[in-house]
Amino acid sequence: MKENIKFSNLDRSKTVKKLASEVFDLVVIGGGITGGGITLDAASRGLKVALVEKNDFASGTSSKSTKLIHGGLRYLKQFDFWLVKEVGSERAIVHKLAPHIVLPEKMLLPLIENGSYGKWLTSIGLKVYDILAQVTGDDKRKMLEKKEALKLEPLLPKKILKGAGYYAEYRTDDARLTIETIKTSLQHGALALNYAAVTDFDYTDEKISGVKIKDGTSDKEFTIKTKYVISAAGPWVDELRSINNSKKGKRLHLTKGVHLVFPHEKLPVKQSVYFDVPDGRMMFAIPRGKVTYVGTTDTNYNNDKDDVRVDLADAMYLISAVNNMFPKLNLEMEDIVSSWAGLRPLIHEEGKSASELSRKDEIFTSETGLISIAGGKLTGYRKMAERVVNRVANKMKEDYDREVKECSTDTIPLTGNDFKKFKHVKRYITEVFDRIKADGFVAYDAWFLVTNYGKQTEMILEGYNKLKDEDPYVRLAKAELHFGIAYEMIQYPTDFFVRRTGRLYFDIDGVRKLMDPILEEFGTIFKLDNAKLMSYKEELQALLLDHSDFSLDRV
């Protein structure tokens, strides 16, 4: 594993100085998985690349997906074979790049009376899926009889169950995948900055030659000079096209996807389940550590893109869908421990409903040279990056007679990956647990460290051993924080609790327990006064309430 490169907001002024004083081949706008993928692709081909993100990395769609690297089985029903083939074969590649973050996950597809999938169609569909996605070995689909399905998942509805399809997918942490992709791009010379909003463009001979940036931490403004610009700003792509006066023709169509999180004992599924909803949609229930999460909705969205919320109607819809498929459970609103809502930046098609819109990506190029990419799926981020960087490579050849290398990101392991196979990840989790259990840690803590940080866990444990704190749990979290501030551009407590560790979603009690000691550590490292720390605490408390409290008096 290559040594980690310092990536810290404590060095922010140096990074800004570099961005403002050099000329880049490419500026990428948007620090989600698409922007991160583009940055790594372009930098690894030898281009000089800068990435800017107006909030934190992965703070938009890329921390709020269903967190699956999956082949899009439902797109078979739309006869979108190209999409299934591409994202299906990408799953194995992305797993190889980061086997500690992209984890194999068996998926159960129950076949029920009058359901979306009949036995024959499911069998054929999953077989086609296996062929298109080049699935091999144990991962190939199996068709199960009713008895076998109930043995695997006793919670399924006995009366209406007819059998099940059983196949393989991959589960991920989208925000971790994004940050590790961006960190890997640094090893190829890229620069990246969060909390850096694009306010306008500079032009030379009516072509974009720079981007104007407002630093969100200081309100100072500066310009980055560049030959080309790619906007991968997700839901904000059209805003940037408007600033560039090029919002013509196709436009974005935003849809909202909501997920609810329950304690695993309240929704104790034994593996992931992809199940029918009475209105004809399909939904996932996915166990993860201490919790099980369910989703997702697919509704048109026209409100504030910076404040996407789970509302009472979303929560009621999801709970009734889960109770319908798992009738023994009787989940209630007070069982929800956390939630999230995100936006899909799809391409508008007249007359199509939110669920019918294609998940294909599209590239728009303006007359002034702004290249925008939108649409697409998390699973296809690497191919999206390859397509759009190929455009830049062609322009480089035309404009500067400069040859740019072919894409090679399918062979570049992400930071933290020092594993040949997934079994080595499992072995390492056991090894880490053996080393920390004497301090009172449980198996979950070792699993959490390794599936977040891979072999970078060694750096965190090193930090843990140096810190003095009476509570081992607090000490380990502080070691994580130190690592994240030094190597992952943590600027605010929300970066730590939401994107870098996922605790807000998957261990919300951990946020409550760690809030005060982590804020205290923040104060020491960033030299903050009590007023600033209090404002951070209020922000975290508001987040906890927004994500977990659906009581009628609050709504």
Whether residue 89 has pLDDT greater than 60: yes
- Tell me what the mean pLDDT of segment 254-273 comes to: 96
Averaged pLDDT for residues 218-232? 97
Q: What pLDDT is stored for residue 1 in this prediction?
A: 63
553 against 203, higher pLDDT:
203
**DSSP single-letter state for residue 311:** -
Structure confidence at residue 475 (pLDDT): 97
pTM of the model: 0.96
Least confidently predicted of 112-116, 468-472, 532-536, 539-543: 112-116
pLDDT at 212 (0 to 100): 98
What DSSP designation does 407 have? P
Altogether, the residues listed in the chain come to a count of: 555
Measure the CA–CA gap between 392 and 381, rounded to whole angstroms: 17
pLDDT at 427 over 90: yes
Residue 140 has a pLDDT of: 81
CA angle 136, 137, 141 (to 5 degrees): 75
pLDDT class for 357, splitting at 50, 70, 90? low
Q: How many whole angstroms separate alpha carbon 314 and alpha carbon 75?
A: 24
pLDDT at 555: 46
Kindly report which listed range (123-127, 133-137, 237-241, 257-261) carries the lowest average pLDDT score.
Answer: 133-137
**Residue 87: pLDDT over 80:** no
**Separation between Cα atoms, residue 309 and residue 127, nearest integer Å:** 38
Instruction: Say which residue the tokens 């940036």 belong to.
Output: 213
- What the block records as the tokens of 512 is 């409550």
What is the pLDDT, as a whole number, of residue 547?
Answer: 93
What the block records as the tokens of 413 is 């392991």
Distance of alpha carbon 444 from alpha carbon 385, whole angstroms? 34
| Amino acid 381: pLDDT | 95
Strands (E), 138-251: 142-145, 161-171, 191-193, 196-204, 207-215, 221-231
Is omega for the bond preceding 297 within 30 degrees of 0, making it cis? no
Q: Is residue 208 within 8 Å of residue 227, measured between CB atoms?
A: no
| Percentage of the chain modeled with pLDDT above 90 | 79
Q: State the DSSP code for 499.
A: I
pLDDT at 552 over 60: no
Band (91; pLDDT cuts 50, 70, 90): confident
**What does the pLDDT average to over 336-347?**
94
Report the distance separating Cα 13 and Cα 503, nearest Å: 29
- Count the alpha carbons within 13 Å of 540 in the hemisphere toward its beta carbon: 26
Q: Flag whether pLDDT at 386 surpasses 70.
A: yes
Cβ neighbourhood burial of 542 (10 Å; 0-12, 13-18, 19+): exposed
- For CA atoms 523, 526, 532, 535, the dihedral sign is negative
